[in-house]
Chains A and B, each alone.
Chain A
Amino acid sequence: MSALAGNYTYYITAFLLAIGLYGMIGKKNLLKKLIGMNIFQTAIFLFFIHGAVKPGTTVPVLDSRIGMDAAAYINPLPHVLILTAIVVSVATTGVALALLITIYRRYGSLEETTILERMKQSS
């Protein structure tokens, strides 16, 4: 039970990952799949950021009243990874939306089954 009290946020993050995965594989609309991918990415960010927190410590900006003790600041490395990952996810969503606009103009719909039917008819 003490393992549950120490790690409960990891289980909540796993639940968000499952919700994002359901959006990607269980829905038939292409825009809903894209939103599922964004939920998945957000859950990964939360997982990393929570892995960096220690109890009783403060943000990783050196404070002259605390000094340079390594046990008084949280781990800065996951923050570094997630900073660039957030902006990369925005750019990736932009490219995915451009592809969705092109697909809509070519086939007239954003539903997966309708697009596959029209692809079979046109070939």
Chain B
Amino acid sequence: MRERLENPVVEGVSKFLVPFMQIFALYVITHGHYGPGGGFQGGVILAASMMLLRLSLGEEYEHRRFSPTAATFVAAVGILIYALAGLVPMAFGGRFLDYAYLPIPGLSSAELRYHGILIVESGVGLVVWGTLVTLFDHLLGSEA
């Protein structure tokens, strides 16, 4: 499962399909406020698009574009975004994870909580994406 498939139909279809999957995943993350969706679902769709590329185009080519170390780094950045969205309000007078004290000027308290939810959901999406791609790479990539 690690080498390139050398099958033009599979390669052509997956190269065509992956941009639509990734845009749909970003749509699911950002439209979590208005319909079913949110960070977890969009992160899983993003990870599935990466797995499709790794299965059909081979490991050597894909790891130069998005290496396993980069996937772990993305997961760590996601949890850092979530923790910062919790700690920054403490410096401005609120409690931990109190989005009404975020330092964005000119918005009311309810709209600040709206944007706090958006920041937190994108952090969760990055964590899920990075962790699932890391799992895939390490389960397939350790030889005996």
Report A-B touching, CB under 8 Å. yes
CA distance A94 to B20 in the complex (A): 27
Interface size, B (range): 10 to 19
A-B contact pairs, 24 of them (CB 8 A): A59-B36, A61-B34, A61-B35, A61-B36, A83-B38, A83-B40, A84-B40, A86-B40, A87-B40, A87-B43, A87-B44, A87-B128, A90-B132, A91-B131, A91-B132, A91-B135, A94-B135, A94-B139, A97-B139, A98-B138, A98-B139, A101-B139, A101-B142, A105-B144
CA distance A51 to B30 in the complex (A): 29
Interface size, A (range): 10 to 19
- Interface residue ranges of A58-102 to B (CB < 8 Å): 59, 61, 83-84, 86-87, 90-91, 94, 97-98, 101
Interface residues of B (CB under 8 A from A): 34-36, 38, 40, 43-44, 128, 131-132, 135, 138-139, 142, 144
Tell me which residues across on chain A come within 8 A of B35, comparing CB atoms: 61
Nearest-neighbour CB distance to chain A for B9, whole angstroms, equals 29
Nearest 7 A/B pairs, CB to CB: A94-B135, A87-B40, A105-B144, A83-B40, A87-B128, A97-B139, A61-B35
Nearest-neighbour CB distance to chain B for A39, whole angstroms, equals 21
